[in-house]
Amino acid sequence: MIIVLKPDATKKQLDHVVERVKALGLKPMVSKGTERTIIGVIGPEDALRVQPLEVIPGVEKVIPVLKPYKLVSKEFRSEPTIVDLGGGVTIGGKRLAIMAGPCSVENRQMLFDTAKAVHSAGATVLRGGAFKPRSSPYSFQGLGEEGLKLLREAARATGMQVVTELMDARDIQLLEQYADLIQIGARNMQNFELLKEVGQSKKPVLLKRGLSATITEFFLAAEYILSQGNFNVILCERGIRTFETATRFTLDLNAVPVIKKLSHLPVVVDPSHGTGEWDYVGPMAKAAVAAGADGLMIEVHPNPEVALSDGPQSLLPKTFAALMKDLKKVAAAVGRAL
């Protein structure tokens, strides 16, 4: 950590800062420049993190040198993490994982139809919401446990794994019974109680990036999970909030190479929520694979006209199947496989 003093800081103020640093068991190194005095601090930065040195008189700013996260960092583990979902499905290796299915589980028929269609096109994980986070209290809220059962059944029938969202810490045991991968939604990325809860679960976790979360905050949310002992975390870019309104959110594909550079965790991309419009899903799915994503999460609905949620961003099964063919080519072009 580096402490920069104000140009008019007094000797007394400097001494006070030095004393505070020493009191924390750290070693201050003072350098007097022509325009500023700076104090380099050697030792574990954590001690300093809890102490607001910025407020000490004479201090202009405090600059951390180390990153605030550890376990998710490539410095902690240099090899990429490969998350095993069971059933032969892994995420993070050469083979891309495609998660597909409806936004929410509406009924048995539509779920089974969709599951068969996406499986035969090459998807290996079935997605579907049983509990839905909806901005409006007047929107469809999901089927609850009945939805979970249907997901499990449809997955078993087709030979896929299940990913579904946890909304309430009280439901975790229920989800653990039915799901292979527990999703934490974007709106709960900083619901720290939920993060601690899944951190103590044995199930892998798919953590979606919050709408206004920086990548550093995204890593810190993952760190909550890893710090409880669960290292099977998959990060999911799903669009951030910006001023642009041509797309529902701004799918931030830059996050893919940034995460790959700084962390060992796998990263997947959700172009359906990220763009909010079905005809942008294909181009952005291909772009995500080209950028280095380890997988995709795509909404498919047999009849988007009557979907109870997110119809406008859902692909028809036949459009999805055509996209999968294109994705195979793009994957091969960057040394990956579907």
Among 200, 306, 318, 337, binds its own copies (CB under 8 A): 306
Instruction: Please identify, using beta-carbon distances, which residue of 159 and 312 lies nearer to its own copies.
Output: 312
**Total interface residues for its own copies by CB under 8 A:** 108
Q: Check residue 81 and report its DSSP letter.
A: P
Among the listed ranges 105-113, 122-130, 157-165, 211-219, the one in contact with its own copies (CB under 8 A) is 211-219
Concatenating the DSSP letter of every residue in 47-77 gives HHHTS-GGGSTTEEEEE--S-S--TTBTTT-
Site for its own copies in 189-208 (CB under 8 A): 190-193
Beta bridge partners of 3: 39, 62
Site for its own copies in 53-82 (CB under 8 A): 54-56, 63, 65-66, 68-69, 75
Asked if 249 contacts 211 with a C-beta cutoff of 8 angstroms, the reply is: yes
Please state, as a whole number, how many other Cβ atoms lie within 10 Å of the Cβ of residue 186: 23
Instruction: Please identify, using beta-carbon distances, which residue of 44 and 86 lies nearer to its own copies.
Output: 44
Asked if 164 contacts 148 with a C-beta cutoff of 8 angstroms, the reply is: yes
Site for its own copies in 117-156 (CB under 8 A): 133-140
Site for its own copies in 243-302 (CB under 8 A): 243-247, 250-258, 260-261, 274-275, 278-280, 282-284, 286-292
Site for its own copies in 13-32 (CB under 8 A): 20, 29, 31
Instruction: Find the shortest distance in angstroms from Cβ 87 to its own copies.
Output: 29
Spatial distance between the Cα atoms of 315 and 307, rounded to a whole number of angstroms: 11
93 interacts with its own copies by CB under 8 A: no
The number of helix segments (H) and strand segments (E) in the chain equals 11, 14
Instruction: Please identify, using beta-carbon distances, which residue of 158 and 275 lies nearer to its own copies.
Output: 275
Spatial distance between the Cα atoms of 117 and 322, rounded to a whole number of angstroms: 12
